Amino acid sequence: MAHILSEGFDWAANSSDLAVRWNAGTGGSPSTTTAFGTGRSWIPSGTPIIDLGVNYSEIFGSVRVRCDGTDRAFLYFYDGGTQQVSLRIDTATGTTSLRRGNQDGTTIGSVYGPISAFWQSWQFRIVFHNTTGVFELRRNGATTNMISLSGQNTRSTANNYFNRFGFACTNTCYIDDIWLNDTTGASNNSWCGDIRVITQVPTGAGSSTQFTPSTGSNWQCVDDMPNNGETDYVQSSTVGHKDLYAMSALGSTAGTIRGVNVFGMVKKMDAGARTAGIRHVSGATESTLVSSDALSSSYMLMSSHQALDPNTGLAWTQSGVESQQIGPIVVA
């Protein structure tokens, strides 16, 4: 499985948008308060949760958090509806801790670290087990642990795994740049470092323009960050029609590119069955990365993660990421 989840929040204009991907209480709002002065973070007022659909016994991850004053941010690792453990980033006490159960549960490990009104990136490793559980914690991409605990009880249910992930806060905390991977696969199977989730948007026409724009040029209808719903859009009812778009520069040259996550929001505008896909071009390699279920008249999110450049079979390069073309295709 390797990469499990990444989220940068730049795309969501409101809680209804976020509910297309996150469920079970997607309250909250986007914020332009970010660590790098671009894009958006998210201020949760409920508990956005993603059902991962797989039981994970070990997880590596990263999250960027800013808490102000005496606020607290929480990451939740659920087995079903029960938090196995919770990561609590607490500027009231100046500590980051892993708690058994919810954010107020028994402390498994704790360290002084969070600073009020200060963006920090936290990396964690958790092994879920009632006797041989592990909790390791790093900060800001460091390669050494602040906390190294083994032989712990890191579960609340009878199971040594989690399968749902969520986050929350008290008052106003900013959450951004979430990344989770497990230990399987050839890549993204260990510490991910201080991850930045950068959102690219269309900046021009690519090698195919077959959809019909609601206004202006096709790519200009889908270049919005955050998403602007039906203010402008492209549509087609012809099977095989595809749009491809040139994509924006990353705006950063730092670090290793750990993958490309491609997203599309799609719906149908009339009765009848219709499926859509995400079309992708990298160099000489063109493919449909993912096809949707039968569309409904409400927006659905399609996504596909490419850990490696499909044109080279190797890790992505910056030029590879910036020269890819992405767009919708009418599958059936």
Phi–psi pair at 299, nearest 5 degrees: -65, 135
CB-CB contact of 33 with 222 (8 Å) = no
- Applying CB under 5 A, which part among 6-14, 85-93, 180-188, 271-279 lies near Ca ion? 6-14
Q: Which stretch binds Ca ion (CB under 5 A): 31-39, 127-135, 156-164, 297-305?
A: 31-39
Binding mask 101-140 for Ca ion (x = CB under 5 A): ----------------------------------------
Secondary structure letter of residue 160 according to DSSP = S
State yes or no: residue 8 binds Ca ion (CB under 5 A): yes
Q: Which of residues 163-222 bind Ca ion (CB under 5 A)?
A: 176, 221
Residue 51 touching Ca ion (CB under 5 A)? no
Count of residues that interact with Ca ion, criterion CB under 5 A: 9
Distance, CA of 281 to chain centre: 22
Q: Is 232 in the site for Ca ion (CB under 5 A)?
A: yes
- Going by C-alpha positions, the residue among 326, 290, 317, 327 that lies closest to residue 305 is 290
> 3-class DSSP state for residue 221?
helix
Using the rule CB under 5 A, give the single segment among 96-104, 228-236, 266-274, 286-294 that binds Ca ion: 228-236
Q: How far is the CB of 179 from Ca ion (least distance, A)?
A: 12
Min separation Cβ 196 and Ca ion, Å? 8
Q: How far is the CB of 63 from Ca ion (least distance, A)?
A: 11
Nearer to Ca ion, 89 or 221 (CB): 221
Member of 68, 224, 286, 322 binding Ca ion (CB under 5 A): 224
Residues that bind Ca ion (CB under 5 A): 8-10, 39, 176, 221, 224, 228, 232
